[in-house]
């Protein structure tokens, strides 16, 4: 990968360092989950001028930051790391700063834009029937499905929304679900 045109939004300076080890890119740091109005303005300007890719940690605060930015600047692309890719080799924690350069490059290559106004292709009933909303394995299944579809980890409600906004069709969903169930 050469120089990345878009500006990558990350949570902090350690994430910036990890991104710069992986690719030649510029970043904007949110510096925590309380994304300031001035940071939103920087992201808006970056989106207008060069485009933006959001790459946050695959945890609750990272998803919260992603949601805030997506609501304020909906045209951004989204890149996701799996929890496995974002874990350190030793010790605790989870974050972009722990991901290897190849995982970061892959996430950025597969970044995609959310479309906010799309038809419902997969229903809540489909998710319930697939064991993705209720049941002892629902959380584990959602996590693996999010990895396969490159839409990140979600709770049940978020899963339905992400499937819609990333325009995941029934066939793609079915293929990913078969893979999830075969791995159990």
Q: Is the pLDDT of residue 72 over 80?
A: yes
| CATH assignment of 7-113, among 3.40.50.720, 3.40.1360.10, 3.40.50.360, 3.30.2310.20 | 3.40.1360.10
| pLDDT value for 123 | 87
Q: What proportion of the chain, given as a percentage, has pLDDT over 90?
A: 60
What average pLDDT does this structure show over 72-85?
91
What average pLDDT does this structure show over 138-144?
93
What average pLDDT does this structure show over 109-132?
82
What average pLDDT does this structure show over 123-151?
91
CB 98 within 8 A of CB 87: yes
Full DSSP string of 114-172? --SS---SS-HHHHHHTTSSSSTTHHHHHHHHHHHHTS----HHHHHHHHHHTT--HHH
Domain ranges of the chain: 7-113, 124-183
User: What does R_g of the chain's alpha carbons equal in angstroms?
Assistant: 16
């Amino acid at each position: 990968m050469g120089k990345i045109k878009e500006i990558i939004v990350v949570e902090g300076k350690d994430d910036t360092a990890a991104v710069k080890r992986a690719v030649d890119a510029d970043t904007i740091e949110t510096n925590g989950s309380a994304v300031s109005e001035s940071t939103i303005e920087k992201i808006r300007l970056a989106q207008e001028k060069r485009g933006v890719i959001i790459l946050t940690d695959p945890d609750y605060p990272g998803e919260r930051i992603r949601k805030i930015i997506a609501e304020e600047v909906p045209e951004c692309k989204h890149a996701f790391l799996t929890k496995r890719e974002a874990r350190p080799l030793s010790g605790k924690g989870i974050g972009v700063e722990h991901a290897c350069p190849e995982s970061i490059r892959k996430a950025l290559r597969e970044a995609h834009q959310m479309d906010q106004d799309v038809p419902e292709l997969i229903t809540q009933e489909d998710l319930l029937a697939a064991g993705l909303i209720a049941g002892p394995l629902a959380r584990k299944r959602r996590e693996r499905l999010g990895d396969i579809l490159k839409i990140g980890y979600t709770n049940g409600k978020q899963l339905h929304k992400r499937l819609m906004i990333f325009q995941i069709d029934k066939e793609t969903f079915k293929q990913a679900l078969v893979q999830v169930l075969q791995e159990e």
